Amino acid sequence: MTPQHHLPADIERTSMSIITEELAQRRLEVPPENAAVVKRVIHTTADFDYAQNLHFTPAAVAAGIAAMHEGVTIITDTNMALAGITKPGLAKLGGQAMCFMADPAVAAAAKEAGTTRAVAAMHKAAQEYPRAVLAVGNAPTALLAITEEIENGLRPALVIGVPVGFVNVVESKERLFATCGQYGVPAIVAMGRKGGSNVAAAICNALLYQAAEMLDPKARGWQ
């Protein structure tokens, strides 16, 4: 085997071209406003199901980009998702990303309430960063906590709901998406069982890259 490309920028550009071609071959139509997000997730997972599984409330991507422009705080439900979010993009826009899962206060609150750390972390996020982007890639209980907070008046800048798994995953996503639609909260949700922290980070990065004009890898310093 002789590798076709060696430099990261070449590899990414070629990958995105392949994704665009295969979407057309599979007759999977993606609205232009959502294309960068969908392609970034497919690039991360090599799974074209996301062209159909990712659901967007009206203007969700535009709302996410606007929030990134404003230097929004992104709060994730895992340190893995936190690690995957582009730090140069955050720095360029004056934003920050945080995860409360290892916070001792969150652990204590979860123990006292008899719930998960993910639930306690999202309640903390709602209290301290009510206009954050909430990016959930692992815990369906976090989505249920966010849903409850929205019903009680929380209006985050965007909710990214892409937990992976078999227990309460499908139901929590459907409930969140319906609630976000009802209350006008922008949301991007991967319906069904698929998702993960890598998907949550990929969606954040797609929004950050668009907001910071870094979609082309050359703008990220790659050759």
Q: Which residues are marked as active site? A: 43
**Residue 16 is encoded by which pair of tokens?**
């995105």
Nearest Cα to Cα of residue 197 among 10, 44, 60:
44
Long-range pairs of 41-48 with CB within 8 A, sequence gap ≥ 24: 41/190, 41/199, 41/202, 41/203, 41/206, 43/12, 43/15, 43/16, 43/19, 43/202, 44/198, 44/199, 44/201, 44/202, 45/196, 45/198, 45/199, 45/202, 47/194, 48/22, 48/23
H or E element at residue 98: strand 96-99
Question: Parallel, antiparallel, or unpaired for β 133-136 and 73-76?
Answer: parallel
Q: Quickly tell me which residue has 């797609």 as its tokens.
A: 206
Phi-psi region of 58 (alpha: psi -120 to 50; beta: other; left: phi over 0): beta
8 A C-beta contact, residue 168 and residue 109: no
